[in-house]
Structure 1
């Protein structure tokens, strides 16, 4: 069963875990992996889960449930993390140099899945936010070392130019991220 937004939902920085959370009722809290250095100042207190956040979350759940064969709990986790990243993370500059260029032009929109290529390996990412030249994407694979000093963790976001996004192969079926 997919979790639908309610009026009691509220973003709240969780001091004890040092990450952004969302209270989903009196006894349920979901913790994102996002730490203070990546968050906008408003995210470090209490903030309502707005109508705009709810619309984005529901649209993303709908899109993901059509594209992925995953348990509902994981789809909710993806959608909540993406919503937090879209609305409560600081803007990023593109870091495309970590990834190989694609020779195919792609259409990017929130909820679409792509691969990034790094050192010949494909990394599965979800588009969280997009503009004319670049997209902020969320890592769906487990940790990957981009360089000797930089890694990308599961659910971490990175902004890349569109020419770094590779369309998923048609025969590729996604069963788990």
Structure 2
């Protein structure tokens, strides 16, 4: 697992309009959409102890629940931390997804599946409560309807009754976001 260092820091790149993490030897470009960032995201901030704890938790979840490489685990976990830390809260958009009455998930399952009328996708739960969950798409993309498609690492908030467990371990392909 890629270990965080004390000199890591988040910054917003004005030229590319991207949220980035300076990781000493290289810069990680997150998939956060500039239009959805909280105002304070444009300030340079340290990769905090809380960020490192979230990173470690997300990494462990992905490593345990998906059949992916260490590099992809790190990419997913860092994007999850960035999404949770810097994205504006949004209203649920559950209407894109089918209800999952018969498929109950174990509360420890954080890698889940959602189905639209068009397609199904694999998601990581970023944050949740009894009613709603904010989820990040792990699949390469997912068509929600004729006009709307989610891209890998984009987040959406949904009702809990839209979430289904994965039937078996899955592999996730990663895209570069440079």
TM-score (norm 2): 0.90
Q: CA shift at 1:122, angstroms? A: 1.9
User: Does residue 10 of structure 1 match 2:9?
Assistant: yes
Match of 2:119 among 104, 117, 121: 121
Distance 1:77 1:158 in 2: 19
Gaps of 5+ in 2: 174-178
> How many residue pairs get matched?
172
After TM superposition, the runs of 4+ consecutive aligned structure 1 residues lying more than 6 A away are none
TM-score (norm 1): 0.90
Q: CA shift at 1:108, angstroms? A: 4.8
Q: CA shift at 1:143, angstroms? A: 2.0
Q: CA shift at 1:167, angstroms? A: 1.1
> Do 1:113 and 1:127's aligned partners in 2 also have CA atoms closer than 8 Å?
yes
Match of 2:170 among 171, 174, 177: 174
RMSD, aligned CA? 1.6
> Do 1:108 and 1:127's aligned partners in 2 also have CA atoms closer than 8 Å?
no
Given the superposition, is the C-alpha separation of residues 113 and 41 from structure 1 closer, same or farther in structure 2, using an over 3 Å criterion?
Answer: same
Given the superposition, is the C-alpha separation of residues 173 and 102 from structure 1 closer, same or farther in structure 2, using an over 3 Å criterion?
Answer: same
Q: Describe how 1:83-102 pairs up with structure 2 within 5 A.
A: 83-102=81-100
Gaps of 5+ in 1: none
Distance 2:151 2:9 in 1: 25
